Copies of this chain bind each other. A is one copy, B any other.
Amino acid sequence: MITRSTVGVTAPEGFSASGVGCRIRDGKPDLALLVSDRPAAAAAVYTTNVIQAAPLVRNRAALERTGGSATAVLINSGVANACTGEQGDRAADWMAEETARLLDLPADEVLVASTGVIGVQLPLDRLAVGLPLAVEAMALDGGPLAAQAILTTDTRIKEAVGRVVTSDGAYTVGGMAKGSGMIHPDMATTLGFITTDAAVAPDQLRAMLQRATDLSFNRITVDGDTSTNDMIIAMANGASGVQIGVIDEEFERTLTQVLVHLAREVARDGEGATRLIAVRVTGALTEDDALAVARTISSSPLVKTAVYGSDANWGRVVAAAGRAGVAVQGERMRLRFGDLEVMSPGYHSDFSEDEALELLSQPEVEIWLDLGLGTAEAETWTCDLSHGYIDINAGYRT
């Protein structure tokens, strides 16, 4: 009997995974392997940082050569293999080639990903020990172990699943991700891995992945820093027998839901976070305006520390909106924390501080700003800024 994980990357048919430790990070799992039982259509989106880590450079070239196909992904945590020069490029190639050799695949069928400290060379001797163990450990219920091994300063694993039943049969979309510092739109130091047993053409998969990322991972921020390593990889192996049409809203919606769930989990688990903040901006003239205002609010350290302190300092939200580069008018704004209106048009403010304190102490806080100008809206997610963030980042290398 095969035990299949109900969430995560091994939820769809035909995917197995493993997570092992090979002492890149002492005492923690640090090497994950994700394998499809057949070549899968594959697509990736990458960080916008112009300094890109070696794995990203390699995957871009490999996916070009294969025309969008991959069978396996090897991921290590602890060392980012970024800013590592030619030696780093060779290490990324080695990861793909050695995995391909062990799995008897063409090298270009293996994608790679790394996350961790920048500017340090990968310890290939340790990977050489760990990789056979990862191959050995591959299992149809290995998703959670893989999701564990890709984490760095994350405090918990992040998995998601969506299942769709159609007249042609059912298919599943699974995913896992890691955060948790250096996270900002376009994209985040985030690695995301999406699997599906639907059959999707590579070009279509890439286009849908890009759109779904724009609505999910590109809408979260932890600290405004964009990483050199961010990447989301999607693999569609067709094992369910369901073919996704050229226009398939249900598939794209499911893919987006999986990514939004993962993105929110990444924001919720931002370094040092004690709560998730959803920033909803409505009443904008355009969606771009709404998004710019939401992003500026969710990037504001003053807003984020106020939420950490459960302090209904609504002026900071309005001030952040004012510097978003959008022609807002403070007098027309209406601001709510959850259900509680804290400012109405004309800068009227009269609310119960006790009620605000209660709302701002929940694990999930909604900041809803209506600009009073139009009908467009957008939502972004972030976390509060706490002492934990400082603790984690003041000595990350040590």
Binding site for B on A (CB under 8 A): 48-52, 80, 82-86, 88, 117-120, 181-182, 184, 223-228, 299-302, 305-306, 308-309, 311-316, 318-323, 326-328, 330-331, 343, 346-349, 385-387, 389-390, 393-398
Which B residues are CB-close (under 8 A) to A316? 118, 225
In the bound complex, how far is the Cα of B349 from the Cα of A88, in angstroms?
A: 13
Write the nearest CB–CB distance from A121 to chain B, whole angstroms.
Answer: 10
- Give Cα A92 to B304, complex, Å: 30
With contacts A80-B315, A85-B346 known, is A323 near B119, CB below 8 A? no
Q: Closest B-chain residue to A228, C-beta based?
A: B319
- B395 near A309 with CB under 8 A, answer yes
- A398 contacts B318, CB within 8 Å? no
Provide the residues of chain B in CB contact with A223, threshold 8 Å. 301-302
Contact yes or no, A225 B82, CB < 8 A = no
Bound: A224/B221 CA distance, A: 14
Chain B residues within an 8 Å CB radius of A389: 301, 305, 390
Given contacts A83-B318, A119-B347, A305-B394, 17 further A-B contacts (CB under 8 A): A49-B323, A51-B328, A82-B315, A83-B319, A85-B347, A120-B315, A223-B301, A224-B300, A225-B319, A225-B320, A226-B319, A228-B322, A301-B301, A305-B389, A306-B394, A308-B394, A312-B397
Please report the C-alpha to C-alpha distance between residue A346 and residue B385 in the assembled complex, in whole angstroms: 35
Q: Chain copies in the assembly? A: 2
Q: Once the chains bind, are A306 and B119 in contact (CB under 8 Å)?
A: no
Chain B residues with CB under 8 A of A398: 309, 311
How far apart are A190's CB and chain B's nearest CB, in angstroms? 14
Cα distance A223–B347 in the bound complex, in angstroms = 25
- Complex CA gap A327/B346 in Å reads 44
Contacts A225-B300, A306-B394, A397-B313 hold; do A319 and B49 have CB atoms under 8 A apart?
Answer: yes
Q: Would B301 and A396 count as touching, CB distance under 8 A? A: no
Cβ-closest 4 pairs across A and B? A118-B315, A309-B394, A51-B322, A305-B393
User: Which one of B302, B346, B349, B386 lies within 8 Å of A119 (CB-CB)?
Assistant: B349
A305 to B391, CA, bound (A): 9
> In the bound complex, what is the Cα–Cα distance between A347 and B225 (angstroms)?
20
| Given A82-B319, A225-B320, A385 and B390 contact (CB-CB distance below 8 Å) | yes
Please, how many angstroms separate the alpha-carbon atoms of A390 and B390 in the complex? 9
What are 21 A-B residue pairs whose CB atoms fall within 8 Å in the complex?
A49-B319, A49-B322, A51-B321, A82-B315, A83-B315, A83-B318, A83-B330, A83-B343, A85-B346, A118-B316, A119-B349, A181-B302, A182-B319, A184-B323, A225-B300, A227-B319, A305-B390, A305-B394, A306-B396, A309-B394, A389-B390
A84 partner residues in chain B, CB cutoff 8 A: 347
Minimum C-beta distance from A28 to chain B (A): 20
* Structural contact, A301 and B49, CB atoms closer than 8 A: no
In the bound complex, residues from chain B placing their C-beta under 8 Å from that of A302 are 181-182, 223, 225, 393
Contacts of A328 in B (CB 8 A): 50-51
